Amino acid sequence: MDGRRLIVNADDFGQSPGVNRGVIESHERGIVNSASLMVRWPAAAAAAAYARAHPTLDVGLHVDLGEWVYERSTWRPRYEVVPLQDDAAVGAELRGQLAAFADLLGHPPSHIDSHQHVHHREPLRSILLNVAAALGIPLRGATPPIHYCGAFYGQTAEGAALPGVLTLEGLVDILGRLPAGTTELGCHPGFADDLDTTYAAERATEVEVLCDPRLRAALAHLQIIRCSFADATMVL
* DSSP string for residues in 113-126: EEGGGGGGSTTHHH
Instruction: Kindly tell me if the per-residue pLDDT of 213 is higher than 60.
Output: yes
Q: How many structural domains compose the chain?
A: 1
Tell me which residue of 165, 150, 158, 159 sits closest to 205, measured CA to CA.
165
Decide: 65 and 87 in contact? Cβ < 8 Å: no
The pLDDT value given to residue 232: 84
- pTM to 2 decimal places: 0.95
Number of residues that make up the chain: 236
What is the H or E stretch that residue 58 is in?
Answer: strand 58-63
1-43, pLDDT tens digit by residue? 458 999 999 999 999 999 999 999 999 999 999 999 999 999 9
Average pLDDT over residues 185-213: 96
- Average pLDDT of the chain is 94
pLDDT per position as a tens digit, 111-146: 999 999 999 988 889 999 999 999 999 999 999 889
What domain range is 91 assigned to?
A: 4-234
Indicate which CATH number applies to the domain containing 183: 3.20.20.370
